[in-house]
């Protein structure tokens, strides 16, 4: 495959899917009570963007969104705010796969597309756990750009990938999208991108037989 540009998903693709559900989500949920009552201007501005009929029960509403893994744009921004503090205080490091670290470092033109906010993406790649030590790695210098549901739209819609191509200034045939989600690959394929289905430890079993080429290790890419 001769694609010159990589567009990478995050959870289940470059880091374990459990990191988000078992580390990031619980970390955020534990901060929600103090967050709602913090009075911090940046937080208050986000909270007012939730539906008016939920303003009297914000804590319960936010936790419900997290539990149901709802891709709410306001929630994603709020999570990014909380995770920023966790990363910066050393409470969180992202367990990016060793071969994914190597791929990003040598990949040339690498872009990220995740349902998590661009802010959260930058925090993750700026605070990567070094697989060989206790140090923190910063992969941001190797990444050309970031896309999320606010900048580009839902990952299961072909139009989102067309927007990304336009922002990149690239033709679809030049871009390889790697994800563990077949619905996302469907949308990317419809937009003309090359695709690979990531199969990593802990990912859900492949639910269909759509014929996507599988990648289990990025060393050969």
166 is in an annotated binding site: no
What residues contact residue 134 under an 8 Å CB cut-off, 6+ apart?
none
Residue 134 among known ligand-binding residues: no
Is 189 annotated to bind ligand? no
Q: Which residue in 14, 94, 84, 12 sits closest to 46, CA to CA? A: 84
Determine whether the annotation assigns residue 155 to a binding site.
yes
Q: Is 217 annotated as a binding residue?
A: no
Q: Which residues contact 218 (CB under 8 A, 6 or more apart)?
A: 97, 99, 100, 102, 103
Is 69 among the annotated ligand-binding positions? no
Q: Is the dihedral of CA 204, 14, 114, 152 positive or negative?
A: negative
Which of helix, strand or coil describes residue 165?
A: helix
Burial degree of 26 (CB within 10 A; 0-12, 13-18, 19+): exposed
CA 178 to chain centre: 12
Nearest to 120, CA basis, from 142, 149, 153:
149
Query: Residues marked as binding?
Result: 9, 11, 114-115, 155, 180
Annotated binding-site residues for Mg(2+) read 9, 11, 180
Q: Binding site for substrate: residue ranges? A: 114-115, 155
């Amino acid at each position: 495959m001769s694609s010159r540009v990589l567009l990478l998903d995050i959870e289940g693709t470059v880091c374990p899917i459990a990191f988000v559900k078992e580390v990031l989500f619980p970390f955020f949920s534990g901060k929600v009570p103090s967050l709602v009552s913090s009075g911090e201007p940046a937080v208050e501005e986000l909270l007012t963007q939730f539906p008016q009929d939920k303003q009297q029960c914000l804590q319960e509403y936010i936790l419900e969104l997290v539990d149901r893994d709802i891709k709410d744009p306001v929630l994603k921004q709020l999570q990014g705010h909380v995770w920023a503090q966790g990363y910066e205080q050393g409470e969180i490091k992202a367990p990016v796969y060793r071969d994914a670290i190597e791929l990003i470092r040598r990949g040339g033109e690498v872009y990220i597309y995740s349902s998590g906010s661009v802010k959260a993406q930058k925090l993750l790649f700026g605070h990567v756990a070094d697989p060989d030590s206790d140090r923190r790695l910063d992969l941001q210098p190797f990444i050309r750009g970031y896309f999320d549901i606010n900048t580009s739209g839902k990952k299961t819609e072909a139009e989102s990938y067309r927007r990304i191509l336009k922002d990149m200034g690239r033709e679809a045939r030049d871009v390889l999208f790697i994800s563990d989600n077949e619905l996302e690959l469907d949308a990317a394929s419809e937009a003309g991108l090359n695709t690979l289905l990531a199969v990593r430890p802990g990912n859900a079993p492949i639910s269909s037989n759509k014929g996507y080429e599988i990648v289990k290790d990025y060393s050969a890419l």
